[in-house]
C-alpha cells in the first residue's frame, strides 16, 4: 500500500515542494511546486534572516503545506539548509513556521544534505547512470554547494562548501553586468574553495540537481533551438555552460530576465551559480553533466517512506 508524503525544501534562494506516493521503494510524483523566496538575502553579511525574507518564505510554506494536506498527504517532512544553518535567528524562524504553518522544519547539516541528494540521484534509473560508476553529484544552492562522490550506493566523500549563487553575488558580483575583474575574483574564490574537497575517487560522470543546473540546461536547450526538450536527464556540455555564462555576462539583470529558459526571479544571481558550475566541471575534468530535477526532496520522501515501513 502506498503512502502519500509531501516534502518541502527551504533553501537559501528558493522553497520547493513535492507531493508523491511511495510504495516499496518506488516514488511516483503527484505534484511539484517551487517559488523563489530568497530567504538568504543578506545573511552572508548580517548573519540574520530579514523579516521580509522570512515573510515571503513562510507564505510559500503555508501554501505548499495546505496544498499537500488537501492532496491527501499523511505526512509532511521539511528541511532547512544553508540560510537557516548560518542565521543566528534560524531557530526562531523554525518556531514561527511550526506555529503558523504546522510544519516541523529540520535544519540539516551540509553533509546530510549531500547524502540525501546523492541517494535521490542513485534511485532514479531514468538518468541512465551505470550503477557502479564513480559519480559526482552536485547541488549549487544560494548559500552553499553540496558535493558528493560515490560508487554505486556507497558514498566515498562529501562536503558542503560555503559557495552559492547568492553568497557569491553578494560578495563579488556588484556590477550590472559584473565587470571582468569581479568575474575573475569570484572565479578564483570558487577555485580556492573547491580545493578543500578531494575528488576521490576521480568521477567518471557528474549529475546536477537544483536551480542552477536546471536553468542552465533550459537556457542551453533554447539556445540550441530545442526549447521544448525534456530537462530531466538532459546532458549539458562544458562548452554549453561557457556559452550560457557569456550570454548572461553580456546582459544586465533586467535583460537576463527575458533570456528564454531562465527563471526570471533568478536573473540577479544566476551568474554566480554558473561560475560555480563551470569551475566544478573544470576541476573534475569531466566535460558534461546530467541534469536531474529530483533533488533533496526525493531523498526526504524516500527516507520518510522507509521509516513509515519500519
pLDDT tens-digit series, residues 276-290 = 999 999 999 999 999
Write down the pTM of the prediction.
0.82
Do 211 and 186 form a contact (C-beta atoms < 8 A)?
A: no
Please, which pLDDT band fits residue 68 given cuts at 50, 70 and 90?
A: very high
| Domain 3-110+296-309 shares a fold with domain 126-291 | yes
Specify the 3-state DSSP secondary structure of 119. Answer: helix
Do 38 and 58 form a contact (C-beta atoms < 8 A)?
A: no
* Distance (Å, whole) CA 33 – CA 287: 31
| pLDDT above 80 for 255 | yes
Packing angle, helices 270-284 and 180-194, rounded to 10: 50
The predicted model gives 17-32 an average pLDDT of 88
What is the DSSP code (8-state) at residue 57? H
Sorted by where each begins, the domain ranges of the chain are 3-110+296-309, 126-291
Q: How many CB atoms lie within 10 A of CB 23?
A: 14
Q: Does domain 126-291 sit in CATH 3.30.420.150?
A: yes
Evaluated on CA atoms 183, 185, 189, 192, the torsion sign reads positive
State the cell numbers at 55. Answer: 515573510
| pLDDT above 90 for 227 | no
| Per-residue pLDDT tens digits for 71-93 | 999 999 999 988 898 899 999 99
The predicted model gives 118-138 an average pLDDT of 88
Q: How many CB atoms lie within 10 A of CB 201?
A: 14
* Distance (Å, whole) CA 232 – CA 120: 13
**Topology classification of domain 3-110+296-309:** Nucleotidyltransferase; domain 5 (3.30.420)
Integer-rounded Cα Rg, in Å, for the chain is 18
So what's the pLDDT on residue 82? 84
| Per-residue pLDDT tens digits for 134-193 | 999 999 989 889 899 999 888 899 988 999 999 999 999 999 999 999 999 999 999 999
Q: In 102-136, which ranges are continuous DSSP H helix?
A: 110-122
| pLDDT above 90 for 304 | no
So what's the pLDDT on residue 22? 87
Mean pLDDT, the chain, rounded, equals 93
Do 143 and 42 form a contact (C-beta atoms < 8 A)?
A: no
Q: In the chain, which ranges are continuous DSSP H helix?
A: 43-46, 51-70, 82-86, 90-101, 110-122, 165-171, 180-194, 211-223, 238-249, 253-256, 270-284, 296-309
Do 219 and 241 form a contact (C-beta atoms < 8 A)?
A: no
DSSP H or E run through 100:
helix 90-101
So what's the pLDDT on residue 109? 85
Amino acid at each position: 500500500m502506498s503512502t502519500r508524503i509531501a516534502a518541502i525544501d527551504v533553501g537559501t534562494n528558493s522553497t520547493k515542494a513535492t507531493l508523491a506516493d511511495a510504495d516499496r521503494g518506488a516514488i511516483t510524483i503527484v505534484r511539484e511546486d517551487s517559488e523563489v523566496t530568497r530567504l538568504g538575502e543578506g545573511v552572508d553579511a548580517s548573519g540574520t534572516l530579514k523579516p521580509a525574507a522570512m515573510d515571503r518564505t513562510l507564505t510559500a510554506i503555508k501554501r505548499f503545506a495546505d496544498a499537500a494536506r488537501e492532496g491527501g498527504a499523511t505526512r509532511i517532512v521539511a528541511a532547512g539548509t544553508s540560510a537557516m544553518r548560518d542565521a543566528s535567528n534560524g531557530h526562531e524562524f523554525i518556531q514561527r513556521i511550526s506555529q503558523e504553518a504546522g510544519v516541523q522544519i529540520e535544519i540539516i547539516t551540509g553533509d546530510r544534505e549531500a547524502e540525501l541528494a546523492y541517494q535521490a540521484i542513485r534511485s532514479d534509473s531514468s538518468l541512465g547512470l551505470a550503477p557502479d560508476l564513480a559519480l559526482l553529484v552536485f547541488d549549487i544552492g544560494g548559500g552553499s554547494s553540496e558535493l558528493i562522490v560515490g560508487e554505486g550506493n556507497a558514498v566515498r566523500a562529501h562536503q558542503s562548501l560555503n559557495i552559492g549563487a547568492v553568497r557569491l553575488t553578494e560578495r563579488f558580483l556588484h556590477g550590472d553586468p559584473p565587470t571582468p575583474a569581479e568575474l575573475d575574483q569570484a572565479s578564483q574564490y570558487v577555485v580556492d574553495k573547491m580545493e578543500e574537497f578531494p575528488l576521490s575517487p576521480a568521477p567518471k560522470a557528474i549529475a546536477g540537481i537544483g536551480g542552477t543546473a536546471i536553468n542552465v540546461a533550459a537556457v542551453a536547450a533554447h539556445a540550441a533551438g530545442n526549447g521544448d526538450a525534456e530537462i530531466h536527464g538532459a546532458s549539458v556540455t562544458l562548452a554549453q555552460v561557457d556559452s550560457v555564462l557569456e550570454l548572461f555576462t553580456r546582459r544586465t539583470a533586467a535583460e537576463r530576465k527575458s533570456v528564454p529558459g531562465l527563471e526570471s526571479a533568478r536573473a540577479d544571481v544566476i551568474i554566480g551559480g554558473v561560475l560555480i558550475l563551470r569551475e566544478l566541471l573544470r576541476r573534475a575534468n569531466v566535460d558534461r553533466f546530467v541534469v536531474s530535477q529530483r533533488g533533496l526532496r526525493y531523498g526526504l520522501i524516500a527516507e520518510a517512506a522507509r521509516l513509515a515501513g519500519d
